Amino acid sequence: MKRTTTQKRRLLNEEIDVSAFKDIRIRFPGDVYILAVWLAMLDRSKSTPSCQPHTTLHGLASNFAILYGIDYTNPLTGQDVIDVFRQHGITGNPCLRLDATADENPSLLAIEIATGGLVAPIAGKRGQAQL
């Protein structure tokens, strides 16, 4: 009986830079990217030499759906978010990884987000953004 640890190890080592989410928007420009950066930085702050926590693509989708909140007229699930990722060519379930820029200076990332053309959503019905 052959073990499939090599395949599992390969899948566990798959990573994606958070910059892959810059052009993905669900509610407003940069929403997924901002959450991806936050989760990756949170993972880094919780890591220790013996334990490296990593949020996966499915974890990002689930967190986005939870933070989106309950909206009975326009519900959003984690699978809906995964479907958006798939439409943008992101496959598998890679772990989130901070880009080299974020590794060198995390505060530059906040400046990039603040000045990168991310604007407040246009208010629609009941103060929600129009997509």
Structure tokens at 94: 């890679």
Which helix (H) or strand (E) element contains residue 64?
helix 57-68
Indicate the number of domains in the chain.
1
pLDDT level of residue 2 (50, 70, 90 thresholds): low
In a domain, 63, yes or no: yes
Q: Is residue 123 part of a domain?
A: no
Sequence-ordered list of residues with C-beta below 8 angstroms from that of 12, at least 6 positions apart, any chain: 95
How many C-beta atoms lie closer than 10 Å to residue 40's C-beta? 23
Q: Is the overall model pTM greater than 0.85, yes or no?
A: no
pLDDT tens readout for residues 20-76: 998 999 988 889 998 998 899 888 888 777 777 789 999 999 999 999 988 888 889
Domain that includes residue 109, residue range: 15-47+54-118
